[in-house]
Amino acid sequence: MGKGISNSIERIDGIEANQIVGNLDASQMRFGIVVARFNDELTDELARSAYQCLVKYGAKIETIDLVRVPGAYEVPVIADKMAASGNYNALIVLGVVVEGETQHAQMIIDTTGQTILDISCRHQIPVINEIVGVRTWAQAEARCLGDENTRGWYAAEAAIETARVYKQLG
């Protein structure tokens, strides 16, 4: 097995316990996507790939809401509002933060990451965080450009699968 997550969602062989696994069926589910506009040539691509993934796996266009915000720091407050609404099975949050000459980028990644995790747990909804934090623009491009190989696509797959597991747990 290589680096990362396998696209195959299967039970683990040799474990006789009841195993709860998800699937990539996005039909009859609602998704919210929150996208930072800062670095929009990359965040737009993350949003496109997440959207295309959701549609590929059966989400209807009318069951996907996409909200734009200025930057990564504005993502959590909107994600919190959407999570509190109870209208979604999962949320996807997208942004790109490239390190500069100060520690500001790391502060953004750390605080938004913790806040998004808190939102997910408080509202009992999967919130998949793909606010991509990188050191260079080239690293950002590698993670954000490339259709099914982007962090946006991965985020959508994770949102679908996690929402399906969550639904099974009642």
Counts of helices then strands in the chain (DSSP H, E): 5, 4
Alpha helices (runs of H) in 57-132, residue ranges in sequence order: 75-85, 104-123
Q: How far apart are alpha carbons 117 and 34 in whole angstroms?
A: 15
Locus of tokens 């797959």? 157
Using CA atoms, how far apart are residues 81 and 97, in angstroms rounded to an integer?
Answer: 23
Type of residue at 133? G
**Residues with active-site annotation:** 104
